[in-house]
Chains A and B, each alone.
Chain A
Amino acid sequence: MSEADGTGALGTGAGGTDDDTILSVQGLTKHFSQSDGMLSALFDEPPVRAVEDVSFDVKRGETLGLVGESGCGKSTLARTILRLVDPTDGAVYFEGDNLAELSGSNLRERRRDLQMIFQDPQSSLDPRMKVGPIVEEPMKAHGLYKGEREERARELLEKVGLDPHHYNRYPHQFSGGQRQRINLARALSVNPDFIVCDEPVSALDVSIQAQVLNTMQELQDEFGLTYLFIAHDLSVIRHISDRVAVMYLGKLVELAETEELFEHPEHPYTKALLDSIPVPDPRSEGARSVLEGDVPSPIEPPSGCRFRTRCPRLIQPDEFSMDSDTWKAVREFARAVDRRTFEADDRAAVRAEFFPDGTPSGRAGTVVDDALDRVADDEWEDAAEQLISTFADASICATEEPSYSVDPTIGDGEHFAACHLHRDDVEAPAPADD
């Protein structure tokens, strides 16, 4: 297992020299100021770090799934790639050109090859425009297909599975699934190579979802399209993607081929995500496990690994050598104190609840005992501070940003995992402790 280069990049190098690569995202970063420019500059407010140092390649003709929970930066990443918002840092190479540096007509020209469709097929269609002109709009904007736009629009309507006779209807006369098809036809009208799809089927019922997904796959085959497919639904992602990238709090945490990622996830967040999906089969094996706590604020994200405040596998600091059960008890106690999830009227009861086999020995034990005293005295904050600084802040998970490439179990594609559990040991599978 080798450490990837400094930025955690999976890129093929500037310019995307690899012929297979259609898009190369390198160290892409987007920070938003919290309020309008003037004010935030005046008060020196820290920015919202929505996307941080994200790197990956998209191969020609593939579907790269991008999954993560709401607010993790998926849409911002997509919009930054397309230059709908300007990046704070980093580069986006699309067939050799750095989109982050293009402007004016050069950017417009390139944009033609990169289209986007959104989640809500309703609000992305102008209700006053008829379907035909909606599909023709991008052709007009790019001055393409003059004289044959209507014909092309009708053809495309049919391609996406609509009746070409519906050319003169208004969007509200269509169902949700059909409206998403109109969006597809519009995106296809300028003959793009690459389509960013942001939650394109999330608003649809399952049976309609399946129809639209099938059409998208047919269109991909027919036109040789490449998709960056964003969704929060892991079942949809598993079905549609060739490779999958997982985001958490603005960072890419894992990327691998689909089967590899779902069957052999190597990042604790990916595991937690997979373990929390309810499986549509009452006989499905394996209890669902639950990830505790909430996603921290992207204004002051945790140092090192951004998942460390919730990670069930957080690595103990080098100075300690507790066995895994003891370390688990300490970790859970520290988090419970930090979040005040229990009442502490009785020190002995608290001790018995969190440390049924006794508190750890050595300095770890001293810190835990002291925290138990403080909690019993209602000094929660002091207790939490000491526990966190001793056990969490000194962990490698807090001091260093993880970025590793792992040997895949299935297939031979690259498997990137931003987790220190992979820091040295190649062979040993990570022990399951939860």
Chain B
Amino acid sequence: MSEPLLTVENLKTQFFTEEGTVRAVDGVNFEVNEGELVGLVGESGAGKSVAAQSIMRLVEEPGRIVDGTVTFDGKKLVDIEETPDGRMEESDEMLSNREMREQVRGREIAIVFQDPMESLNPVFKVGAQLREFIELNRGVNESEAKTIAVDMLREVGIPEPEARYDDYPHEFSGGMRQRVLIAMALACEPRLIIADEPTTALDVTVEGQILDLVSDLQERYDTAFLWVTHDMGVVAEICDRVNVMYLGEVIEEAEVDDLFHDTKHPYTEALLRSMPRPDRSVESLDPIKGVMPEAINPPSGCRFHTRCPEAREACKEFHPEYQDVSDADEAPHAVSCIKYERVGYEDSDPLQTEATGAFAGGLADMRGDDDGRDPAGVPGGEADE
């Protein structure tokens, strides 16, 4: 297999806040191949957006990429190395800010956000913004850019594109604004589009329209996508491969069918079990116990151990290794859980938590939920609480 288009290795991004260091992305690995649609999925606060922004080097103060390498088409977008005296520094190969701006952003990699209003300037007309973007990035003159802009608007399904060209962003519906942003992302024919929850704020019929549009365009232009979402339905619908994030880490990665039908990580399993289904009636929901702890002070060992139904004592001690556990004739399937390692999981006692059912009949069991979370961010559900 040829080199992946995008490789993310050991990426770490932290926010230095008054309360402490938020380890938002904490040693993440994944890749995106040419023309592939890869999902990055997880609950809010898992670190998906920070990971996406880190790839584009758009992380803002007080955040900083502190370690790792992001390689795109041979270029080092991020490359942090340890110096002989133990400091973390950008390598010589890492692109400068100017190179990022001029060679990568918008041209090679485009990004689409959840809220299109943030990316469109409310005081300028939609068409003019698109035209100017095309002029700047494609090196064409104004009238050529306008022609391309109108074509793009039509292509992404804006009705009456000639007339709508002169509308202001607020005159567009949410779905249409998201279409404009997709038009803008596509305008420079990038090789990778990073989409951060682009359909989350949209109604389901509009989301359907956008998902169809994306599949369509992807086929036509062979653009690769990194699709950030919390919605397993969207993942199942459009992704080729999926990475699941929990508390700053990617904890499972598999082809989409394997992720749903040969689930390996207890968190992914629990997530799938907790969802009501549109396509069938589910008698009772099986929620994940507790809430995701704060990234300021993640639990020791496996970060999911405070909520994992299969947690054992060893899970508190050992930080699981993220490793490929597939057989030789199978597609790669990576997971980080000590059940798949030889560190004594089998011989270890079940942890006494609400999630493992240790509190049968107790008050906490009756509630079975997100209570017990201390405001200071200490995860709930521990036996000693």
Contact = CB atoms under 8 A, between A and B. Distances in A.
A169 to B, nearest CB: 7
A161 B232 CA distance: 27
B233 A279 contact: yes
B189 interface: no
B56 interface: no
Contact of B233 (A169, A277, A293): A277
Contacts of B89: none
B132 interface: no
B370 interface: yes
A284 interface: yes
Interface stretch (A76-84, A110-118, A207-215, A422-430): A207-215
A206 B375 contact: no
B277 interface: yes
Contacts of A213: 276, 285
B271 interface: yes
B30 interface: no
B370 A280 contact: no
Nearest to B238: A278
B366 to A, nearest CB: 8
Contact of A273 (B205, B238, B271): B205
B234 A278 contact: yes
A207 B288 contact: yes
A340 B161 contact: yes
A236 B276 contact: yes
Given A211-B370, A281-B260, A340-B161, A239 B233 contact: no
Contact of B232 (A162, A238, A280, A292): A280
B236 A282 contact: yes
A210 B261 contact: no
B256 interface: yes
Contacts of A278: 207-208, 211, 231, 233-234, 236-238
Contacts of A173: 375
Contacts of B175: 294
A48 B203 CA distance: 21
A84 B232 CA distance: 37
Interface string B185-226: 000000000000000000111111101100000000000000
Contacts of B63: none
Most chain A CB within 10 A, of B162, B204, B234, B260, is at B204
Given A278-B231, A279-B233, A294-B173, A343 B154 contact: yes
A193 interface: no
A214 B291 contact: no
Nearest to A340: B160
Interface of B: 43-44, 154, 157, 159-163, 173, 175-176, 203-209, 211-212, 230-238, 256-257, 260-261, 270-272, 274-279, 281-282, 284-288, 291, 363, 366-373, 375
30 contacts: A163-B372, A175-B291, A175-B370, A175-B373, A177-B370, A178-B373, A206-B232, A206-B271, A207-B274, A209-B276, A209-B287, A211-B287, A211-B369, A215-B369, A232-B203, A234-B204, A235-B275, A238-B281, A239-B281, A274-B278, A277-B233, A279-B278, A280-B233, A280-B235, A280-B277, A281-B260, A284-B279, A290-B205, A294-B175, A341-B157
Shortest beta-carbon contacts, A-B, top 3: A276-B208, A278-B233, A210-B287
